[in-house]
Amino acid sequence: MEKFIITGFVSAFHLKEIKARQKVFKNRYASCFIVTVKGRIKFTCNSRTLFSDQSRCVFLPMGIDYTNECVCDAESYVFNFYTSEKYLHALELSPVSTHLAAACYENICKNASGSPQENMLVLSELYALAHRLFEKESVLSVHEKIVRSAQNFMLENYSKNSLCARDIADNCFISEIYLRKIFQKHLGTTPFKLLTEIRMKKARELAMEKIPVKLIARAVGYADVYQFSRAYKKYHGHNPSEAVMC
């Protein structure tokens, strides 16, 4: 699940089911995490059998057909969402505590009103939940995938002088605050500092080719040459016009 990216929240439910209840679903309308905090539910998908209980959770991808059978009275939290990639198979995932599942559900319900800021908070909650659920499924953590996605986005867009942390966070489908926390934890820096580093390294390459400073500034995302020169000197210790001699 290296490219597991959530692109939109759909709904969240707190369900209670009774033993022996069975349902058949066709062409599931969205992907979902099912976190069962009491009892056990059996899922049959493409001849595969999976269980959701207190020792494991389940990921069901959008579009699959499956049968849901309550093995014994169960209580579950269901989180529905869209992803950037299409997945073909259901998966058993790591367990999470009842407290964590309930807190995630409550925070999502509290912020699921549709405003851009609240949508970002909802996606942040889903990513935090996904990070716990995929602990044993993927070599890369969800946080590491977000960092890689953000880095790639910066490398592709560093020349835009309007590029900011909010743009990077939006591209990763998370809040700006959450992006900063992830960067601090995994890289020990901020999105702004990493973007500056990318720009300054590219600027030095251009300066070594004797390209005029004004053109270099524009090429690495600076509208103001003076601001660029100050940033360059602070990072490299010399002016961009002196790069060839250093």
Domains of the chain by range and CATH?
6-116 (2.60.120.10), 140-246 (1.10.10.60)
Query: What values do phi and psi take at 22, rounded to 5?
Result: -130, 135
How open is the CA angle 165-4-135, to the nearest 5 degrees? Answer: 105
Q: In a 3-state reduction of DSSP, which class is residue 50?
A: strand
Question: Any bridge partners for residue 219, and if so which?
Answer: none
pTM for the whole thing? 0.57
CB atoms under 10 Å from CB of 209, counted, come to: 9
The answer to whether residues 183 and 148 touch, using CB atoms and an 8 Å cutoff, is no
Residue 139's pLDDT is: 42
Average pLDDT, the chain: 89
230, pLDDT greater than 70 = yes
Confidence tier at 99 by pLDDT (50, 70, 90): very high
Q: In a 3-state reduction of DSSP, which class is residue 135?
A: coil
Residue 200's pLDDT is: 95
Confidence tier at 245 by pLDDT (50, 70, 90): very low
Confidence tier at 2 by pLDDT (50, 70, 90): low
Burial class (CB in 10 A: 0-12, 13-18, 19+), 138: middle
Confidence tier at 246 by pLDDT (50, 70, 90): very low
Beta strands in 87-210 (DSSP E): 91-93
131, pLDDT greater than 50 = yes
**Model confidence pLDDT, tens digit, residues 162-211:** 999 999 998 888 889 989 998 988 888 999 999 999 999 999 999 988 89
152, pLDDT greater than 50 = yes
CB atoms under 10 Å from CB of 58, counted, come to: 26
The answer to whether residues 43 and 153 touch, using CB atoms and an 8 Å cutoff, is no
- Helices (H) and strands (E) counted in the chain, each on its own, are 8, 7
Name the percent of the chain lying above pLDDT 90: 61
